[in-house]
Amino acid sequence: MFTKSTRFYDAVYGFKDYAGESEQLLGLIKQYKSSDGNALLDVACGTGGHIPYLQEHFQIEGLDLDENMLVVARERFPDIPFHQGDMVDFELNGSFDVIICLFSSIGYAKTESRMRQAVQTMADHLIPGGVLILEPWISPDQWKPGDLHGLNVVEPDFRITRMNISETRDNLSFVEFHYLVGTPEGIHYFTEEHELGLFPTVSYLDALQNAGLDVIHDPEGLIGRGLFIGMKPAS
């Protein structure tokens, strides 16, 4: 995951409009949630980028597999419960009115069977009338092997250049990020490997429906990758 780059994660993804995305989420939740509570679980929460914009509306908890990311999240939000666990098979006490799983984190399930299990696990933690908002990873027909990507980050106390070339390996999208990081202590180079499952829209729809949810698909979503809204029947 982002274990090596945790220190720089928020700077690297500083281009994300967490405030704008949260406004869209609030609108969707208001439109589709029919339960009365305000308990929200952020699955694959990372460092908690959406939390500042949602915490006045919900009683939030977070879950992530990467303990290093949770260290940052707990420092930022000491009053919020954060759980270390895998989205595929986590078990928490209690249920939630809203579960969000964003920024294509579901791709880290890697295989379709694990993706389906993750969707079922999240659905099992929903209160009747609750809503699951799931942001998919890039679909197989949109993934472009051989594409070159790069970004630069300039901050007062560090500089970052990150580059990668999109690849496909064993039916997975494979990304090896190459980081060049400069700080007053020196210049450092490291790599991180990321493997994400390439699932078509129909597979997500089927997984959500098989988990007992009524589903709406927004092909645009928050950042152009689409969005699935799964509603758990109230009765």
CA distances, 136 to each of 107, 111, 129, 133, 157 (Å): 7, 13, 22, 10, 34
CATH 2.20.130.10 domain range(s) in the chain: 148-197
| pLDDT for residue 51 | 98
* Residue ranges in the chain modelled with pLDDT below 50: none
Q: Tell me which fold the domain 6-139+199-231 belongs to.
A: Rossmann fold (3.40.50)
Q: Cα(54)–Cα(168) distance, rounded to whole angstroms?
A: 36
Considering only CA atoms, give the Rg of the chain: 18
Two structure tokens written together for 29: 């939740």
CATH homologous superfamily of 148-197: CAC2371-like domains (2.20.130.10)
The residue among 208, 170, 197 whose CA lies nearest residue 108 is 197
| pLDDT for residue 92 | 98
| pLDDT for residue 2 | 85
Q: Phi-psi bin for 151: left (phi > 0), alpha (psi -120 to 50), beta?
A: beta
Two structure tokens written together for 231: 């509603």
Q: Cα(227)–Cα(131) distance, rounded to whole angstroms?
A: 13
The per-residue DSSP string of 58-123 comes to SEEEEEES-HHHHHHHHHH-TTS-EEE--TTT---SS-EEEEEE-TTGGGGG-SHHHHHHHHHHHH
| pLDDT for residue 171 | 84
Q: Cα(221)–Cα(223) distance, rounded to whole angstroms?
A: 6
| pLDDT for residue 46 | 97
CATH 3.40.50.150 domain range(s) in the chain: 6-139+199-231
| pLDDT for residue 235 | 77
| pLDDT for residue 129 | 98
> What is the DSSP-derived secondary structure letter of residue 233?
-
